[in-house]
Amino acid sequence: MINRQQLLFSCFLLIVVQGAEIGRDEFYYGQLPENFTWGVSTAAYQIEGAWNEGGKSEHIWDRFCHEGHVDLNMTGDVACDSYHKWQEDIQILKEVGVKHYRMSIAWTRLIPDPIGGEVNPEAVKYYLSLLSGLKTAGIQPMVTLFHWDLPQVLEDYGSWANASIIPYYKHYADQAFGLFGHLVKYWITFNEPWVITWQGYATGEYAPGIQQPATLPYKLAHNIIKCHAEAYHLYDQKYRASMKGLVSITLNSDFFAPKDPSNPAHVEAAERAQQFSLGWFANPVYKDGDYPQVMKDYVRRNSAGGESRLPEFTEQEKAFIKGTYDFFGLNHYSTSLCEPTDAEYQARVLPGYTRDMEVKLSRDPTWHKAASYYLFYVPWGMRGVLNWIRTSYNRPPTVVTENGVTDNNGTLQDSHRIEYLKTYIDELIKAVLIDGCDVIGYTVWSIMDNFEWARGYTEKFGIYYVDFDDPQRPRVPKDSSRFYKQVILNRGFPNPEIVG
């Protein structure tokens, strides 16, 4: 049986996937409101460098890189050297004309000893200088508290699987809010908890490189959601009245579309995959304080002995978590096609999350592939996932906090990136102006080439080129930076002449 939510999902797929009256691949000329905010993104470990300067302590990515787990033994020790070149960073942000800059604070820089909890004055000086410089330049900081760089000492104490981490995270959030909140309008508690839990502790592709897929990701996710709620309520009770900021979480998701939209089993599989991916973290925060029912049902039936491997929230915890958002933060890059699994497929996938979901994922062989293994050009997926959020969570104000595409060479003539950004932004415009999605901001990943986690410097997302062989780390504009500048100036694509 297909329930009402799945029926709605199928209905808007007829528009987004099959085309209907609007045309899936038809370019739509439109202009977003003046108060729409355009930005670019980075993260502390990917750009700051100075890994052991200014009082900073070791985090899990320092350890992971120094143990040689990254391509070509690359590290983020220097990265883009933004710790020393933040003024140049602000200058290129001004050149592009962005309205906001999404960045993160390094927990190990601000509080080098999270057990002791003392704030590092050198870090306070650095971040105050950066944030003040952004405000002077007319650029709104959008600050992520945790972008994957967990203090190594907390990893050694049991990481996110240990509930004792919650007060340490809350203390860190309290210090950041109190020190920098007068300069920050947008706060993001966590970046992509799906990636933290699955790629860090199930596949081991990312730091800390642990491979315990059956149960550990669910345990970690449970405490991350609690940490998020603690930070939200802390800000709400202690800082909101005076600082008037917004607090939320950023979640990553493909758009999950049925491989055969006319097949009800494929439609149901796509909805299940979307719930397991985005709903895992969004449902507790944006809906009812609990995991999606389909996720609870499928994990329980795939758990030995009848006891689910998915932890349960108490009724008090559900009430505490529900509604802990001021906007919906979304990172979106690509799309997956879905169909039900069979026994042979189930036997091949990792135990735990991927086996519990019972969905076979694939890509259309005609889709253009980027440098990253997971990234295919599927612009209509942007409109699809924004509509899924609209229908599932009662049209929350949404900020696309990351969207971009990779190559391997960092070419300045990056027409492929222009095409990607143009088509994805256009689908966002359709979602707003045609479908009624409440999207209030869009953010390109990234302002410059940087340390791309396990791929090191071999994959490049930037709209500015960085020469990592040059000690000065010069930033050189790519064609895409000039294209994005025009998009911002015109608030989209008001007429064919603007698109080019």
Catalytic residue among 155, 268, 402, 427: 402
Catalytic residue among 192, 339, 452, 459: 192
402 part of the active site: yes
SS3 per residue for the chain: CCCHHHHHHHHHHHHHCCCCCCCCCCCCCEECCCCCEEEEECCHHHHCCCCCCCCCCCEHHHHHHHCCCCHHHCCCCCCCCHHHHHHHHHHHHHHHCCCEEEEECCHHHHCCCCCCCCCCHHHHHHHHHHHHHHHHCCCEEEEEEECCCCEHHHHHCCHHHCCCHHHHHHHHHHHHHHHHHHHCCEEEEEECHHHHHHHHHCCCCCCCCCCCCCCHHHHHHHHHHHHHHHHHHHHHHHCHHHHCCEEEEEEECCEEEECCCCCHHHHHHHHHHHHHHHHHHHHHHHHHCCCCHHHHHHHHHCCHHHCCCCCCCCHHHHHHHCCCCCCEEEECCCEEEEEECCHHHHHHCCCCHHHHHCEEEECCCCCCECCCCCCECCCHHHHHHHHHHHHHCCCCCEEEEECCCCECCCCCCCHHHHHHHHHHHHHHHHHHHCCCCCEEEEEEECCCCCCCHHHCCCCECCCEEECCCCCCCCEEECHHHHHHHHHHHHCEECCHHHHC
58 part of the active site: no
Q: Which residues are catalytic?
A: 192, 402
